[in-house]
Structure 1
Amino acid sequence: MKNVINCACLVFVLFFSCMVNAQISSSEKQYLLDFNKSTNGEQWQNKWDLKADPSSWYGVEVNDGHVTALKLYRNNLTGSIPEGISKLSYLKTLNLAFNVLEGKLPEDIFQLEKLTDMRLEMNKLTGDLPKDYSKMTQLKELSIFNNLLQGTIPDGIGEMTSLKSLNLSSNYLEGSLPKSLEKLDKLERLELFGNKLAGAIEVDLGRLVNLKELILSYNQFEGDLPSGMATLSNLEFVQLQGNDFRSLNSLLRMQSSKLAVFDSDDEFLNLKFGTTEASRTRIVDTKYEDVKRN
């Protein structure tokens, strides 16, 4: 009898613990409700039962009583991301890619100190990038390609010192590359294809020692390519075509043994680094990853 009682108590404790862990604060729940309304939740592909516990909602992950992930990739979200997302202060993953979101980014979206992955690509987001990234020291991936963003790449972007992947391709960004990019020494992928970025590149690319992919094609860069790029021994994928570079001669000394694709407007360098016509298809395949990452 004693064993039965002990077993019953254990089950109750575990059940109660699970229920407590599943609960989230009223402010977090209210933001999710606001988000659902602002992005037309009734039209989502996978809808939320607003009467059920938020931990059961599609794409919402809850740990220790807090929302830690919001994964709504390709879910027919329309409308805009509402202000107040910083209420999800324990959020680690935000994936709203491949939807039809419009409007500006919330001012507080870059106040999420625990965020490691932010994927907002393939939407219709507008406006400028924020200037302050000082709280984003844990962010490893920032992907906002194929939106309608304007303005310059702010100097503050160099504050995201854990960043491994930065993809801002296919927007309307202009101006020069900020010198602060040199601080991103963990960066493995820098993708800026198809913007209106211009001028000489003053960034010492040689400081990005872990860089594997560098995509600067189809902008308005000019002048000489920084000589430091030739020292990047981990480069695997490089695309520079469609710019107004005066010279790429500094790359003649490039010794990256891992280089698989090199595309530029210099046919001699293309031949030297073994570029084939087949590699050019990669430019239209900028990180369109599968649903498994949502």
Structure 2
Amino acid sequence: MKLTSLSLIALCIVGVAFAKNTVTAKEKKALIDLFESTNGAQWNNPWDLNTPVETWRGVTVKDNHVVEINLFRNNLEGTLPSSLGRLRHLQHLNLAFNSITGVLPKEILELENLMVLRLEMNRIKGNIPPEIRQLKKLQVFSMFNNFLNGQIPEEFGELTDLKELNLSSNNLKGSIPKSLGNLTKLVALGLFENSLDGTIPAELGNLGKLKELVLANNQLGGEIPMEFAQLSSLKILQLQNNRFESYTGIQAMDTKQFLVFDTDDKSLRPKFNEIQLQRTRMADTKFEDDNDNE
């Protein structure tokens, strides 16, 4: 039976549409590795590996490449495969609120197009590798409530597009890197509940867009930098449960700017607007994920 011209045109359209959304075998294999290494059969929303990749829940395909994986709160259990590093076009990776274990594969830090990396509320351990400097386009790095140890890499200071950096509730030690003062686009910095010591770098006063600064529950000491007076956008400041010797830097700030303020120096409390202080507090709360689109 001969095909009519209309049938041929229809087949061509279907073929083009299919090709347009088909990822490479290499990228598909990386996704299958993720599925298998994190007990995909037990996910809340498992993938049907016999269907096209672009139909897999949480996977976004553009121009034949995987650009986003969002498996937020999907019951992932297991380790992250190094083959994720093959997803060279990946821009968003959100695997937050799962039960992922193991270490952060260095191959993920080779994803030069990555803009958002959310791995909070998992069980990932080990150091943050200095190779983090390779993620030049990164805007969000959130790994609060894991088991990270070691020091905060100075190399974070090279990621000048960062808007959110949250390393709260880990086992990090050492001082806060002065290089974080290079992150002039930063809006939120969370280092709550670690074992950080030393003084707060004066360089943090360069963060003019910073709205949230959470340093509570550490072993920080010395004085609050006078440069804090430059943080005119700051709305949330939490410094309690540290070892500070002086709060002069805070006294130089415009106290009316705060919505949330917590410190061990109770003598400062009357200087702040009591109505503001009764609003939602974050003293013992972790930053919540706001990208639960699934």
TM range (shorter): over 0.9
Q: How does 1:119-268 map to 2 (within 5 A)?
A: 119-255=118-254, 257-268=256-267
- State the match for 2:67 in structure 1: 68
3-state DSSP of counterpart to 2:93: strand
Give, in angstroms, the shift of residue 77 of structure 1.
0.3
Bigger shift: residues 12-21 or 213-222? 12-21
1:39 pairs with 2:38: yes
Task: State the superposition RMSD in angstroms.
Answer: 1.9
Where 1:94 maps in the other structure, the secondary structure is strand
* Greater CA drift, 41-50 or 258-267: 258-267
Aligned to 1:286: 286
Query: 2:93 — aligned with what?
Result: 94
Cα distance in 2 between the residues matched to 1:179 and 1:111:
24
Work out the CA distance in 1 between the residues paired with 2:10 and 2:269: 66
Quote how far apart the aligned CAs of 1:134 are. 2.9
Counterpart amino acid of 1:15? V
Equivalents in 1 of 2:107, 2:97: separation in Å?
A: 22
- How far 1:110 sits from its partner (Å)? 1.4
Cα separation, partners in 2 of 1:88 and 1:256, compared to 1, 3 Å = farther
Q: CA deviation at 1:284?
A: 3.2
Equivalence map 1:2-81=2 (5 Å) = 5=5, 11-81=10-80
Letter in 2 for 1:182: G
Q: Give deviations 1:41-82, integer Å, cap 9, x for gaps.
A: 111111111111111111111110000011101111001001
Q: Secondary structure at the match of 1:16?
A: helix
> Cα offset for 1:273?
2.4
Q: Is the 8 A contact 2:210 2:233 kept in 1?
A: yes
- Residue 263 of structure 1 deviates from its aligned partner by 0.9
SS at match of 1:149: strand
TM-score (normalizing by structure 1): 0.93
CA distance in 1, matches of 2:198, 2:280: 25
In structure 2, distance between residues paired with 1:280 and 1:260: 8
d(CA) in 2 for partners of 1:199 and 1:219? 10
Segments of structure 2 that go 5 or more residues without pairing to the other structure are: none
Q: What is the DSSP-based 3-state SS (H/G/I as helix, E as strand, rest coil) of the residue aligned with 2:151?
A: coil
What do the CA deviations read for 1:265-294 (whole angstroms, capped 9, x no partner)? 111223212356645742333222356345
> Is there any run of 5+ residues in structure 1 with no aligned partner, and where?
none
Distance 2:231 2:157 in 1: 19
Change (3 A) 1:266 1:158: same
Change (3 A) 1:105 1:17: same
- 8 Å Cα contact 2:255-2:272 kept in structure 1: no
Q: Could you tell me whether the CA contact under 8 Å between 2:44 and 2:74 is conserved in 1? A: yes
SS at match of 2:78: strand
TM-score (norm 2): 0.93
Equivalent pairs counted in the alignment come to: 290
Conserved? CA contact 2:259–2:277, under 8 Å: no
Partner Cα distance (1:123, 1:203) in 2: 32
| Cα distance in 1, alignment partners of residues 67 and 132 from structure 2 | 20
Q: CA deviation at 1:132?
A: 1.9
What is the percent sequence identity of the aligned residues?
A: 41
Per the alignment, in what secondary structure is the counterpart of residue 124 of structure 1? Answer: coil
Distance in 2, matches of 1:11 and 1:227, equals 70
Contact 2:202 2:226 in 1 (8 A): no
Shift of 1:147: 0.5
